[in-house]
Structure formats: structure tokens, C-alpha cells
Amino acid sequence: MGSNGNQKDHAIELSTYCSLKKIADANFDYEDSKYIIFGVPFDYTSSFRRGSSRGPAEVRRSYDNLESYDVAYDIDFTEVPICDIGDIFVNEDPDETVDSVSEVVSIIRKDNKIPVMIGGEHSITGGSIRNFRDYGMIIIDAHSDFRFSYMGHKNNHACATRRSLEVLGEGKIFSFGTRSTSREEFEDPEFRKVKFVRAEEIKKHGIEKEFEQYFPKISHHIYFSIDMDGIDPSYAPGVGTPEPYGLTDTDVRYLIRKTAKITDGFDVVEFTPDFDNGNTSMLAAKLIQDFIGARETKRIF
């Protein structure tokens, strides 16, 4: 709202979806902001360790400990137009939750702003990606997430990549850090329509070489989704479905820095506070700061 009480953009409409919570450095009103942060406290389809519904609150708490100025980017985040509109209201219906995410991101996109979503489980990415149909996509994930349905739900966390493929189409999705794929997924004829870059190949050749190999094939604008289990459990133990032999934290930062300028949507999901020692929440918070910093900085990485 402006000072004269006139509605601008869709701030009032968004307030019907969200609770009032705020990440540190989010000092701007919605109408004046470029980056719109929101949480989705949903973990109903989680199949191993539930608790990612508490992820958004814990990431915000950890963010409080980050310095607002980052010398690497020469950015003071308190001066960046960031707004946190809180957590969207969810229930236990995954279809309704994914639809709500889709609607919230649609509103943000219509206002020419950049959504930054904190999960919650990976199923919610399926709602956000509906608003990026002409885009490419980078995913960080230990798992293929390519089941057509799982546990009776098409909008299950184990189906996030499959739902994204249905929106974006063949050759548009690059998933880095894969090291767990079911036989059912691997033998699916659709599986080869996504490029899964295995963590083993990244460890063997280095993240720079693997990225440079695929970057020319990546669309000119992308959506970037980080499932925290894509990162090795030694860096990120607090996840719902941990998998050994993963990416390093700096591997993921490298990919963010290389693509931030062409990234128009971003999420961090699958952080489960109950199984954390503090590392995962802090890393998730820092990755959000890295995205905004790398997108705003004048420096070249």
C-alpha cells in the first residue's frame, strides 16, 4: 500500500495467502521490491524423515546470524529491494498446496518480481515451475525424482522432476548431483529427456568442467531449484532423504554464481530441522544470500 492508501501491484491479494514472517535483510515493502521471499511449510508426502514443514522458520532464524554485507559480492543486502511475505497457508492435500504455490508465483511474476521460495518438500517446485514454461531449469538433487506417481500422489516429492518435465519439455532440465535412481525411473522412456549429471562424474571431472559441457545447452533464462539432499550429508545432514557421496557446498555455490544473472526463479527445499546440527539451516540461508548477491553484483565469477 502507498501512503495514500491506494493499492499497488498485488500486495493485498498476496496477503490472503501468507502469514506474517520476515527474513533478516528483507526491509522493503512488496511494491518496492525486486525479490519476493516466501515459505511453504509442507511435508505431507515425505517418505523417510518428515519435518521439512519447519524448514522456512529455521532458515529465517539462521539467516539472522549472517552479515548483511558480503565482501565477495560487495553487496549490502539491507539495500537490496527484498520483501518476505511470510509462509503461505497449506493443508495436507498436496494437489491444493501445489496449486497454491502456482498461484502465488503467478502473482509475483505478473508484478515482474523474482520469487524465492523456501520449502518444505520438493513437491512444491511443481507448482512454481508452471509459471516458467519457456525457461530452462537447473536442479540440485541426490535423487532423480522421476516417478510418475508415488504413495498415491502425482504431486509427491519423488515426482518433482517428472512434473517439471511435463511443463518444460525435453532438453530443458539439467539435474546436478544425482546418485539415487530407482530401476522404474531408469527404464522409463521419458527418463532420457532430462540430463542427469551424476555426482560421481562431477567428483571425477570437477564442477567447472561438467558445467561448461552443458551450459551452451541451457536456455537463456532458467529456474533454479535446490533440494538440500543434493549436497553431501557432511555439509547438509538435516534433510528428509540423505544420500552419501554428494556435491560440496562450493559446487552448488559455483553453479549459482554462474547462472544467477539468468535466473528468474529460485527455491531451496527439503531442509528438515529435526535432523540438523545447525550446518544445513545456515547453508540454506547462505545459498539464498548467494543467489541474490550473485545476481546483483557487478563482479564476474
How high is the pLDDT of residue 12?
A: 66
How high is the pLDDT of residue 2?
A: 35
Query: Would you say 139 and 174 are in contact if contact means Cβ atoms under 8 Å apart?
Result: yes
Query: Would you say 74 and 294 are in contact if contact means Cβ atoms under 8 Å apart?
Result: no
Environment class of 3 (CB within 10 Å of its CB; exposed 0-12, middle 13-18, buried 19+): exposed
pLDDT value at 19 more than 70: no
Residue range 11-296 forms a domain whose CATH class is alpha beta
Integer angstrom CA distances of residue 33 from 8, 9, 49, 56, 163: 12, 11, 35, 20, 30
Cell of 190: 521419458
* DSSP E strands, 81-171: 82-87, 114-119, 136-140
**Mean pLDDT over residues 204-214, rounded?**
95
Q: What single string gives the DSSP state of each residue in 217-237?
A: GS-SSEEEEEEGGGB-TTT--
Query: Would you say 181 and 223 are in contact if contact means Cβ atoms under 8 Å apart?
Result: no
How high is the pLDDT of residue 8?
A: 63
Integer angstrom CA distances of residue 27 from 89, 175, 220: 22, 33, 30
How high is the pLDDT of residue 275?
A: 94
The pTM score is 0.92
**Mean pLDDT over residues 47-63, rounded?**
89
Residue 217's pLDDT band, with cuts at 50, 70 and 90, is: confident
Residue 26's pLDDT band, with cuts at 50, 70 and 90, is: very high
Percent of the chain with pLDDT over 90: 82
Rounded-to-integer distance, Cα 97 and Cα 88, Å: 9
Of 285, 300, 259, 278, the closest CA to residue 77 belongs to 285
Among 149-153, 161-165, 231-235, 260-264, which is the least confidently predicted range? 149-153
How high is the pLDDT of residue 4?
A: 39
Cell of 72: 565477495
CA angle 255, 260, 263 (to 5 degrees): 110
Cell of 158: 519423488
Residue 78: count other Cβ atoms within 10 Å of its Cβ: 13
Integer angstrom CA distances of residue 35 from 105, 117, 210, 221: 12, 10, 29, 16
pLDDT value at 208 more than 80: yes
Which pLDDT tens digit goes with each residue over 86-123?
Answer: 999 998 899 999 999 999 999 999 999 999 999 999 99
Rounded-to-integer distance, Cα 234 and Cα 231, Å: 8
Burial 186-195 (b: 16+ CB within 10 A, else e): eebeebebbb
* DSSP E strands, the chain: 35-40, 69-70, 75-76, 82-87, 114-119, 136-140, 173-178, 195-198, 222-227, 263-269
Residue 259's pLDDT band, with cuts at 50, 70 and 90, is: very high
Rounded-to-integer distance, Cα 84 and Cα 92, Å: 24
Which pLDDT tens digit goes with each residue over 237-257?
Answer: 999 999 999 999 999 999 999
